[in-house]
Homo-oligomer: A and B are copies of this chain.
Protein backbone atom coordinates (compact mmCIF):
# COMPACT_ATOMS: atom_id res chain seq x y z
CA UNK A 1 0.00 0.00 0.00
CA UNK A 2 3.00 2.20 0.29
CA UNK A 3 5.82 1.97 -2.23
CA UNK A 4 9.26 0.91 -1.07
CA UNK A 5 12.33 2.61 -2.45
CA UNK A 6 12.12 1.88 -6.19
CA UNK A 7 14.75 -0.30 -7.81
CA UNK A 8 13.46 -0.75 -11.34
CA UNK A 9 9.95 0.18 -12.35
CA UNK A 10 7.66 -2.66 -13.31
CA UNK A 11 7.47 -1.19 -16.81
CA UNK A 12 11.26 -1.05 -17.06
CA UNK A 13 11.62 -4.58 -15.80
CA UNK A 14 9.07 -5.87 -18.31
CA UNK A 15 10.64 -3.99 -21.21
CA UNK A 16 14.11 -5.25 -20.38
CA UNK A 17 13.51 -8.87 -19.46
CA UNK A 18 10.14 -10.01 -20.72
CA UNK A 19 9.23 -8.00 -23.83
CA UNK A 20 11.78 -9.98 -25.90
CA UNK A 21 9.73 -13.11 -25.13
CA UNK A 22 6.40 -11.69 -26.29
CA UNK A 23 4.43 -13.64 -28.88
CA UNK A 24 1.81 -12.57 -31.43
CA UNK A 25 -1.22 -10.93 -29.82
CA UNK A 26 0.88 -9.69 -26.89
CA UNK A 27 1.54 -6.25 -28.44
CA UNK A 28 5.12 -6.35 -27.16
CA UNK A 29 3.79 -6.42 -23.57
CA UNK A 30 3.00 -2.72 -23.93
CA UNK A 31 -0.67 -3.28 -23.11
CA UNK A 32 -2.57 -4.72 -20.15
CA UNK A 33 -4.10 -7.57 -22.16
CA UNK A 34 -3.42 -9.87 -25.09
CA UNK A 35 -5.69 -11.19 -27.81
CA UNK A 36 -5.83 -14.82 -28.84
CA UNK A 37 -8.09 -16.65 -31.24
CA UNK A 38 -8.10 -20.42 -31.49
CA UNK A 39 -7.61 -21.94 -34.92
CA UNK A 40 -11.09 -22.07 -36.53
CA UNK A 41 -12.93 -25.17 -35.39
CA UNK A 42 -10.90 -25.42 -32.19
CA UNK A 43 -11.50 -24.78 -28.50
CA UNK A 44 -8.98 -23.20 -26.21
CA UNK A 45 -7.83 -25.24 -23.22
CA UNK A 46 -6.97 -23.19 -20.12
CA UNK A 47 -4.93 -24.24 -17.12
CA UNK A 48 -3.15 -22.51 -14.25
CA UNK A 49 -0.55 -23.81 -11.80
CA UNK A 50 1.75 -22.00 -9.43
CA UNK A 51 5.14 -23.00 -8.05
CA UNK A 52 6.35 -21.51 -4.78
CA UNK A 53 9.92 -21.33 -3.49
CA UNK A 54 10.35 -23.75 -0.62
CA UNK A 55 7.24 -25.71 -1.57
CA UNK A 56 7.57 -26.73 -5.23
CA UNK A 57 11.23 -25.95 -5.73
CA UNK A 58 14.33 -25.17 -3.70
CA UNK A 59 15.03 -21.46 -3.30
CA UNK A 60 18.57 -22.06 -4.57
CA UNK A 61 17.49 -23.92 -7.70
CA UNK A 62 18.86 -22.26 -10.84
CA UNK A 63 16.42 -19.51 -11.86
CA UNK A 64 16.33 -20.81 -15.43
CA UNK A 65 15.21 -24.19 -14.08
CA UNK A 66 12.54 -22.58 -11.91
CA UNK A 67 11.18 -20.75 -14.95
CA UNK A 68 11.24 -23.87 -17.12
CA UNK A 69 9.48 -25.87 -14.39
CA UNK A 70 6.75 -23.25 -13.92
CA UNK A 71 5.96 -23.44 -17.63
CA UNK A 72 6.46 -27.22 -17.94
CA UNK A 73 4.01 -28.18 -15.19
CA UNK A 74 1.32 -26.27 -17.06
CA UNK A 75 2.23 -27.64 -20.48
CA UNK A 76 2.01 -31.08 -18.90
CA UNK A 77 -1.63 -30.35 -18.09
CA UNK A 78 -2.25 -29.24 -21.68
CA UNK A 79 -0.62 -32.42 -23.02
CA UNK A 80 -2.85 -34.55 -20.79
CA UNK A 81 -5.92 -32.83 -22.20
CA UNK A 82 -4.75 -33.56 -25.76
CA UNK A 83 -3.99 -29.88 -26.41
CA UNK A 84 -1.29 -28.17 -28.43
CA UNK A 85 0.20 -25.10 -26.70
CA UNK A 86 -0.61 -21.58 -27.91
CA UNK A 87 0.83 -19.24 -25.28
CA UNK A 88 0.93 -18.33 -21.61
CA UNK A 89 0.54 -15.54 -19.06
CA UNK A 90 2.88 -15.12 -16.11
CA UNK A 91 2.31 -13.86 -12.57
CA UNK A 92 5.63 -13.32 -10.85
CA UNK A 93 5.61 -12.41 -7.16
CA UNK A 94 9.20 -11.62 -6.24
CA UNK A 95 10.52 -12.08 -2.72
CA UNK A 96 12.11 -9.00 -1.17
CA UNK A 97 15.65 -10.33 -1.79
CA UNK A 98 15.25 -10.67 -5.57
CA UNK A 99 18.14 -9.51 -7.70
CA UNK A 100 18.25 -8.41 -11.28
CA UNK A 101 20.71 -11.25 -12.02
CA UNK A 102 18.18 -13.77 -10.76
CA UNK A 103 15.47 -12.14 -12.85
CA UNK A 104 17.61 -12.05 -15.99
CA UNK A 105 18.43 -15.75 -15.64
CA UNK A 106 14.78 -16.53 -14.92
CA UNK A 107 13.62 -14.65 -18.02
CA UNK A 108 16.30 -16.32 -20.10
CA UNK A 109 15.22 -19.77 -18.98
CA UNK A 110 11.59 -18.89 -19.52
CA UNK A 111 12.28 -17.71 -23.06
CA UNK A 112 14.25 -20.85 -23.87
CA UNK A 113 11.50 -23.11 -22.54
CA UNK A 114 8.82 -21.12 -24.34
CA UNK A 115 10.72 -21.39 -27.63
CA UNK A 116 11.38 -25.11 -27.13
CA UNK A 117 7.70 -25.82 -26.62
CA UNK A 118 6.34 -23.32 -29.16
CA UNK A 119 4.42 -21.49 -26.43
CA UNK A 120 5.13 -17.74 -26.37
CA UNK A 121 4.61 -15.30 -23.51
CA UNK A 122 1.42 -13.27 -23.97
CA UNK A 123 1.43 -11.08 -20.87
CA UNK A 124 1.81 -11.01 -17.15
CA UNK A 125 1.91 -9.22 -13.87
CA UNK A 126 4.88 -8.66 -11.61
CA UNK A 127 4.38 -7.83 -7.95
CA UNK A 128 6.53 -7.90 -4.89
CA UNK A 129 5.83 -10.50 -2.22
CA UNK A 130 6.78 -10.14 1.41
CA UNK A 131 7.33 -13.91 1.39
CA UNK A 132 8.92 -16.43 -0.94
CA UNK A 133 8.91 -16.01 -4.69
CA UNK A 134 5.83 -17.42 -6.43
CA UNK A 135 5.49 -18.11 -10.14
CA UNK A 136 1.98 -18.69 -11.48
CA UNK A 137 1.57 -19.58 -15.14
CA UNK A 138 -1.70 -19.65 -17.05
CA UNK A 139 -1.21 -21.72 -20.19
CA UNK A 140 -3.41 -21.83 -23.26
CA UNK A 141 -3.65 -24.71 -25.67
CA UNK A 142 -6.12 -25.79 -28.28
CA UNK A 143 -7.96 -28.92 -29.32
CA UNK A 144 -10.39 -29.58 -32.17
CA UNK A 145 -13.81 -28.36 -30.98
CA UNK A 146 -15.19 -30.59 -28.25
CA UNK A 147 -12.00 -32.64 -28.23
CA UNK A 148 -10.67 -31.93 -24.73
CA UNK A 149 -9.84 -35.22 -22.98
CA UNK A 150 -11.30 -35.22 -19.49
CA UNK A 151 -10.00 -36.72 -16.26
CA UNK A 152 -13.09 -38.47 -14.95
CA UNK A 153 -14.36 -40.30 -18.04
CA UNK A 154 -12.65 -43.70 -17.78
CA UNK A 155 -14.86 -46.76 -18.36
CA UNK A 156 -14.81 -50.20 -16.77
CA UNK A 157 -12.42 -52.49 -18.60
CA UNK A 158 -10.24 -49.64 -19.90
CA UNK A 159 -6.51 -50.24 -19.77
CA UNK A 160 -4.55 -47.87 -17.50
CA UNK A 161 -1.43 -46.53 -19.21
CA UNK A 162 1.45 -44.25 -18.20
CA UNK A 163 4.11 -42.57 -20.28
CA UNK A 164 7.84 -42.64 -19.61
CA UNK A 165 9.00 -43.76 -16.19
CA UNK A 166 7.46 -43.20 -12.77
CA UNK A 167 9.14 -42.14 -9.55
CA UNK A 168 12.33 -40.55 -10.84
CA UNK A 169 11.44 -37.05 -9.66
CA UNK A 170 10.30 -38.22 -6.22
CA UNK A 171 13.59 -40.08 -5.79
CA UNK A 172 15.45 -37.04 -7.11
CA UNK A 173 13.76 -34.97 -4.42
CA UNK A 174 14.77 -37.57 -1.79
CA UNK A 175 18.35 -37.26 -3.01
CA UNK A 176 18.19 -33.52 -2.46
CA UNK A 177 16.78 -33.97 1.03
CA UNK A 178 18.96 -36.95 2.11
CA UNK A 179 22.15 -36.83 0.03
CA UNK A 180 24.02 -38.83 2.67
CA UNK A 181 21.58 -41.74 2.84
CA UNK A 182 23.29 -45.10 2.24
CA UNK A 183 21.26 -45.77 -0.92
CA UNK A 184 22.09 -42.32 -2.26
CA UNK A 185 25.82 -42.81 -1.74
CA UNK A 186 25.67 -46.26 -3.31
CA UNK A 187 24.11 -45.02 -6.57
CA UNK A 188 26.36 -44.25 -9.51
CA UNK A 189 26.91 -40.54 -10.24
CA UNK A 190 25.01 -41.04 -13.51
CA UNK A 191 21.99 -42.47 -11.71
CA UNK A 192 22.06 -39.67 -9.15
CA UNK A 193 22.26 -37.10 -11.92
CA UNK A 194 19.34 -38.68 -13.80
CA UNK A 195 17.07 -38.64 -10.75
CA UNK A 196 18.06 -35.12 -9.74
CA UNK A 197 17.46 -33.88 -13.26
CA UNK A 198 14.00 -35.42 -13.45
CA UNK A 199 13.06 -33.48 -10.29
CA UNK A 200 14.55 -30.23 -11.52
CA UNK A 201 13.44 -30.39 -15.15
CA UNK A 202 9.99 -31.82 -15.82
CA UNK A 203 9.47 -32.75 -19.46
CA UNK A 204 5.89 -32.09 -20.57
CA UNK A 205 4.72 -34.89 -22.86
CA UNK A 206 3.32 -32.60 -25.53
CA UNK A 207 4.31 -35.04 -28.27
CA UNK A 208 1.79 -37.50 -26.86
CA UNK A 209 -1.18 -35.10 -27.10
CA UNK A 210 -2.45 -36.30 -30.51
CA UNK A 211 -2.33 -39.95 -29.41
CA UNK A 212 -4.23 -39.07 -26.22
CA UNK A 213 -6.84 -37.19 -28.20
CA UNK A 214 -7.29 -40.06 -30.62
CA UNK A 215 -7.21 -43.01 -28.23
CA UNK A 216 -7.65 -42.12 -24.55
CA UNK A 217 -11.00 -42.29 -22.76
CA UNK A 218 -9.60 -40.14 -19.90
CA UNK A 219 -6.27 -38.55 -19.07
CA UNK A 220 -4.39 -36.45 -16.55
CA UNK A 221 -0.78 -35.79 -15.77
CA UNK A 222 0.97 -37.38 -12.81
CA UNK A 223 1.96 -34.41 -10.69
CA UNK A 224 1.03 -35.46 -7.15
CA UNK A 225 2.10 -39.09 -7.34
CA UNK A 226 0.72 -42.07 -9.28
CA UNK A 227 -1.15 -43.53 -6.30
CA UNK A 228 -2.99 -40.35 -5.40
CA UNK A 229 -3.55 -39.18 -8.96
CA UNK A 230 -5.05 -42.51 -10.02
CA UNK A 231 -7.46 -42.23 -7.09
CA UNK A 232 -8.38 -38.72 -8.29
CA UNK A 233 -8.91 -40.03 -11.80
CA UNK A 234 -11.23 -42.80 -10.63
CA UNK A 235 -13.14 -41.35 -7.67
CA UNK A 236 -14.99 -44.16 -5.95
CA UNK A 237 -14.10 -46.55 -8.78
CA UNK A 238 -12.10 -49.73 -8.53
CA UNK A 239 -8.95 -50.50 -10.49
CA UNK A 240 -6.02 -52.86 -10.32
CA UNK A 241 -2.45 -51.83 -11.03
CA UNK A 242 0.38 -54.36 -11.31
CA UNK A 243 3.31 -52.76 -9.52
CA UNK A 244 5.74 -54.83 -11.61
CA UNK A 245 4.29 -53.25 -14.75
CA UNK A 246 4.93 -49.67 -13.60
CA UNK A 247 7.87 -48.52 -15.73
CA UNK A 248 10.99 -47.55 -13.78
CA UNK A 249 14.14 -45.97 -15.08
CA UNK A 250 17.38 -47.90 -14.54
CA UNK A 251 18.30 -45.27 -11.93
CA UNK A 252 15.03 -45.64 -10.02
CA UNK A 253 15.27 -49.44 -10.23
CA UNK A 254 18.81 -49.28 -8.84
CA UNK A 255 17.69 -47.06 -5.96
CA UNK A 256 14.81 -49.39 -5.12
CA UNK A 257 17.11 -52.43 -5.21
CA UNK A 258 19.31 -50.62 -2.67
CA UNK A 259 16.39 -49.53 -0.48
CA UNK A 260 13.21 -51.46 -1.33
CA UNK A 261 10.95 -49.14 0.66
CA UNK A 262 11.69 -46.40 -1.88
CA UNK A 263 9.03 -48.01 -4.08
CA UNK A 264 6.54 -46.14 -1.90
CA UNK A 265 8.18 -42.81 -2.71
CA UNK A 266 8.35 -43.73 -6.40
CA UNK A 267 4.67 -44.61 -6.63
CA UNK A 268 3.19 -42.05 -4.27
CA UNK A 269 5.66 -39.18 -4.58
CA UNK A 270 5.00 -36.43 -7.07
CA UNK A 271 6.51 -34.36 -9.85
CA UNK A 272 6.56 -37.10 -12.49
CA UNK A 273 4.80 -35.00 -15.12
CA UNK A 274 4.12 -38.15 -17.06
CA UNK A 275 0.74 -38.92 -18.60
CA UNK A 276 -1.73 -41.20 -16.87
CA UNK A 277 -4.54 -42.24 -19.19
CA UNK A 278 -7.08 -44.94 -19.87
CA UNK A 279 -7.57 -46.61 -23.23
CA UNK A 280 -10.29 -48.98 -24.39
CA UNK A 281 -8.76 -52.44 -25.03
CA UNK A 282 -9.64 -52.28 -28.72
CA UNK A 283 -7.70 -48.99 -29.07
CA UNK A 284 -4.60 -50.11 -27.17
CA UNK A 285 -2.61 -51.16 -30.25
CA UNK A 286 -3.43 -47.88 -31.98
CA UNK A 287 -2.39 -45.95 -28.86
CA UNK A 288 0.90 -47.82 -28.65
CA UNK A 289 1.56 -47.19 -32.34
CA UNK A 290 0.73 -43.47 -32.07
CA UNK A 291 2.93 -43.12 -28.98
CA UNK A 292 5.80 -44.91 -30.69
CA UNK A 293 5.44 -42.60 -33.66
CA UNK A 294 5.57 -39.65 -31.25
CA UNK A 295 8.70 -41.10 -29.66
CA UNK A 296 7.12 -41.43 -26.22
CA UNK A 297 7.33 -44.75 -24.37
CA UNK A 298 4.03 -45.90 -22.88
CA UNK A 299 3.21 -48.86 -20.68
CA UNK A 300 -0.03 -50.60 -19.72
CA UNK A 301 -0.04 -50.95 -15.93
CA UNK A 302 -3.55 -52.05 -15.00
CA UNK A 303 -7.27 -52.11 -15.65
CA UNK A 304 -10.30 -50.09 -14.55
CA UNK A 305 -12.68 -52.33 -12.60
CA UNK A 306 -16.43 -52.57 -13.09
CA UNK A 307 -17.41 -51.93 -9.47
CA UNK A 308 -16.87 -49.34 -6.80
CA UNK A 309 -13.82 -49.27 -4.56
CA UNK A 310 -10.33 -47.80 -4.66
CA UNK A 311 -7.42 -48.53 -6.98
CA UNK A 312 -5.39 -51.52 -5.73
CA UNK A 313 -1.67 -51.81 -6.32
CA UNK A 314 -0.75 -55.52 -6.59
CA UNK A 315 2.65 -56.92 -5.68
CA UNK A 316 4.20 -59.61 -7.92
CA UNK A 317 3.19 -62.20 -5.28
CA UNK A 318 -0.46 -61.16 -5.57
CA UNK A 319 -0.57 -59.17 -2.31
CA UNK A 320 -1.92 -55.64 -2.20
CA UNK A 321 0.46 -52.84 -1.26
CA UNK A 322 -0.79 -50.09 1.07
CA UNK A 323 0.64 -46.59 0.95
CA UNK A 324 1.18 -44.35 3.92
CA UNK A 325 -0.14 -41.35 2.08
CA UNK A 326 -2.03 -40.62 -1.06
CA UNK A 327 -1.44 -37.61 -3.21
CA UNK A 328 0.81 -34.78 -2.18
CA UNK A 329 -1.30 -32.07 -0.61
CA UNK A 330 -0.27 -28.53 0.04
CA UNK A 331 -2.59 -28.20 3.01
Residues of A bordering B, CB below 8 Å? 1-4, 6-11, 13, 27, 30-38, 42-50, 52, 54-58, 77-78, 80-81, 83, 89-91, 93, 95, 122-132, 134, 136, 138, 140-141, 143, 145, 148, 150-152, 173, 176-177, 220-221, 232, 325, 327-331
Contacts and interface: CB of A to CB of B under 8 A. Distances in A.
Contacts of A45: 33-36
Given A33-B78, A127-B55, A128-B55, A3 B329 contact: yes
Given A56-B1, A129-B52, A91 B89 contact: no
A275 B34 CA distance: 18
Given A7-B331, A331-B128, A36 B31 contact: no
A128 B131 CA distance: 11
Residue with the highest number of chain B CB atoms closer than 10 Å, among A27, A32, A46, A95: A32
Contact of A33 (B47, B50, B95, B132): B47
Given A127-B330, A138-B89, A34 B46 contact: yes
7 contacts: A32-B151, A33-B83, A38-B38, A47-B89, A93-B134, A129-B129, A138-B138
A8 B125 CA distance: 29
Contacts of A81: 31-33
Nearest to A229: B32
A58 B34 CA distance: 30
Q: How many copies of this chain are found per oligomer?
A: 2
Contact of A128 (B4, B83, B330): B330
Contacts of A90: 48
Contact of A130 (B58, B125, B131, B327): B131
A34 B89 CA distance: 16
Given A10-B331, A38-B37, A55-B1, A46 B127 contact: no
Given A232-B11, A331-B13, A43 B47 contact: no
Contact of A93 (B3, B8, B50, B83): B50
A329 B6 contact: yes
A329 B10 contact: yes
A90 B145 CA distance: 24
B125 A50 contact: yes
A163 to B, nearest CB: 16
Given A9-B329, A91-B136, A134-B134, A127 B33 contact: no
A57 B232 CA distance: 35
Contacts of A148: 33, 35
A123 B47 contact: yes
